């Protein structure tokens, strides 16, 4: 059973408030009319959904099933990180703050960045209401 208070005590935990702050910061003022942003944002969301889907299923899988999808999970995680980095370069060029630094170094904070994928899926689900 998942325990949110225990998760939030971890040094690499990402709170919903932090995730939402990053989410808001990554949208530059002209995001609605910026075609490059729209393309990069779609890539981020597709990668977040693919990675989060594997992570949710992880909880239901046997060790053998996990071993069978582990390489794909890592590949989707890497793809999500690369998509975030591309979006960050674009939004920083457009004058937005460097929001990606708040997630940490991908070499050190992979789990935190992966958690952000889950939050993006959550925010997208809520936006779709």
> pLDDT tens across 58-88, in order?
989 999 999 999 999 999 999 999 999 999 9
Domain ranges of the chain: 31-127
- Predicted structure pTM score: 0.93
> pLDDT tens across 52-66, in order?
999 999 989 999 999
16-19, long-range: CB within 8 Å, 24+ apart, which pairs?
16/119, 18/102, 19/115, 19/116, 19/119, 19/120, 19/123
């Amino acid at each position: 059973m998942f325990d949110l208070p225990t998760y939030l005590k971890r040094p690499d935990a990402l709170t919903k408030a932090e995730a939402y702050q990053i989410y808001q910061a990554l949208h530059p003022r002209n995001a609605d009319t910026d075609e490059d942003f729209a393309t990069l944002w779609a890539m981020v969301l597709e990668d977040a959904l693919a990675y989060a889907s594997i992570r949710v299923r992880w909880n239901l899988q046997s060790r053998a099933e996990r071993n069978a999808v582990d390489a794909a999970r890592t590949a989707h995680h890497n793809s999500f990180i690369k998509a975030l980095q591309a979006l960050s370069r674009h939004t920083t060029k457009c004058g937005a703050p460097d929001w990606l630094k708040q997630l940490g170094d991908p070499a050190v904070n992979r789990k935190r960045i992966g958690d952000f994928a889950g939050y993006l899926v959550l925010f997208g689900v809520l936006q779709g209401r």
